Amino acid sequence: MKLPRRQFLHLAAGAAAVSTMSRTASALDYPTRPVHIVVGYAAGLAPDIIARLVGQWLSERLGQQFVIDNRSGAASNIAAEIVAKSPPDGYTLLIVVSTNAINATLYTNLNFSFGQDLIPVASIGPAPFVMVVNPAFPAKTIPEFIADAKANPGKINMASAGVGTGPHVAGELFRMMTGIDFVHVPYRSNYLPDLLAGQVQFAFTPTPAAVAFIRDGRLRALGVTTATRSEVLPDVPAIGEFVPGYVAAGWYGICAPAGTPTAIIDKLNAAITAGDGDPEMKSHLASLGVQPRPMKPEEFGKFIADETEKWGRVIKFAGIKAD
C-alpha cells in the first residue's frame, strides 16, 4: 500500500519521536546490565587498581556490576581501540591515562582517533611524578641540578620505564624548558635498582614508587611535577617554583565511545564526582598518589585536548619515536 506523502511524513516523525523517547528512557534507567571498564594494563598495576576502586563505587551507587576487563599491550592502544569501536551505549568504558594523550602523537598508524572516537566521561585526578636523584649526585635543588647539567652536557643519565611513557616525556619537557642535555636510558624492567645503585643519576618516577626510598634517604627528591606541592611530600617543592609553567603530572579518567547518550555520560559523571569527594575513596586514591580532581565532561574534554597538544609538541621537539 502506498501512503500519501503527508501521512508518511507524519508516521516517520512519530517513529522518530518514539525512538528518541526510547533512548531517553533507556538512559534514565541505565545501567540495566553489567558494564565493562576496559583497562589497558595488567592486573595489579595502578590503572587496574584505580579501575577496581571506581568500579566498586559505581556498582554500589548504580546497582549493576562494573566488570574490569584487562586488555594490556601496545601501550594501552589495544584497550583504547576496543572501546572506540564498541557500541555507544554506556556499557563499555575505558580507563584513560596520560599515556593515551601521548600516544595520539607518538603512534602514527592507530586504527582509531583518540580525540574523535572516544569522548570524556569524568576525571578521576592527577598523579604527580617526583624528580629524584641518587644521593651521591651533588645537586640538592632544581637550580643546582640545572647548573650541573649545563656544566656537564650529555653526561647525566635519566632512567625511565620506556620510550614515550609519562616519566620519559616529563623529563623531555624538563629538557625543553631548561635547555639542559642528558642521556635517556629506557628500561623494559624496573629501573629503580640501578637508580639506587647510582648506575643512572635521576628519574621522574611515580610518587608512590619513590616515597619509601625518599623517606629513608636512599633517593633525594628535587621536585614534584604538579603545579603545586603534593600532600604526600609537602616539603618537596613543585618544579614549577623554579621552572615557571612546568607541569607534567600523570592523570586518570574515564572515556566512552563517541555517540554515547549525554544522559548516560552525565549520570556516570555525577556518580564518579561523588566518589572523588568521598573521604574513604580519597584516602584510597591518595595511597596511589592520585589527587582527586572532578571535572564536568566538557572540562575534562578540554583538559585532554590540551594535554594531547602539549605532549605532541614535546614529542616533536625531542624527536621521540615509538619502539
Average pLDDT over residues 173-201: 94
- Taking all residues of the chain, what is their mean pLDDT, rounded to a whole number? 90
Q: What is the pLDDT of residue 186?
A: 93
Whether the pLDDT of residue 11 is over 80: the answer is no
Banded pLDDT at 129 (limits 50, 70, 90): very high
Least confident of 3-17, 71-85, 214-228, 298-312: 3-17
- By percentage, how much of the chain surpasses pLDDT 90? 77
Whether the pLDDT of residue 48 is over 50: the answer is yes
pLDDT tens for residues 237-255? 999 999 999 999 999 999 9
* Residue ranges of domains in the chain, CATH in brackets: 32-127+250-318 (3.40.190.150), 129-241 (3.40.190.10)
CA distance 35 to 273: 18
Q: Which residues contact 166 (CB under 8 A, 6 or more apart)?
A: 97, 98, 99, 102, 129, 204, 248, 250
Banded pLDDT at 26 (limits 50, 70, 90): low
pLDDT tens for residues 65-98? 999 999 998 889 999 999 999 999 999 999 999 9
Q: What is the pLDDT of residue 189?
A: 76
Beta bridge partners of 94: 38, 255
Banded pLDDT at 113 (limits 50, 70, 90): very high
pTM of the model as a whole:
0.85
CA distance 210 to 192: 9
- HEC profile of the chain: CCCCHHHHHHHHHHHHHHHHHHHHHHHHHCCCCCEEEEECCCCCCHHHHHHHHHHHHHHHHHCCCEEEEECCCHHHHHHHHHHHCCCCCCCEEEEEEHHHHHHHHHCCCCCCCCCCCEEEEEEEEEECEEEEECCCCCCCCHHHHHHHHHHCCCCCEEEECCCCCHHHHHHHHHHHHHCCCCEEEECCCCCHHHHHHCCCCEEEEEHHHHHHHHHCCCCEEEEECCCCCCCCCCCCCEHHHCCCCCCCCEEEEEEEECCCCHHHHHHHHHHHHHHHCCHHHHHHHHHCCCCCCCCCHHHHHHHHHHHHHHHHHHHHHHCCCCC
Whether the pLDDT of residue 313 is over 70: the answer is yes
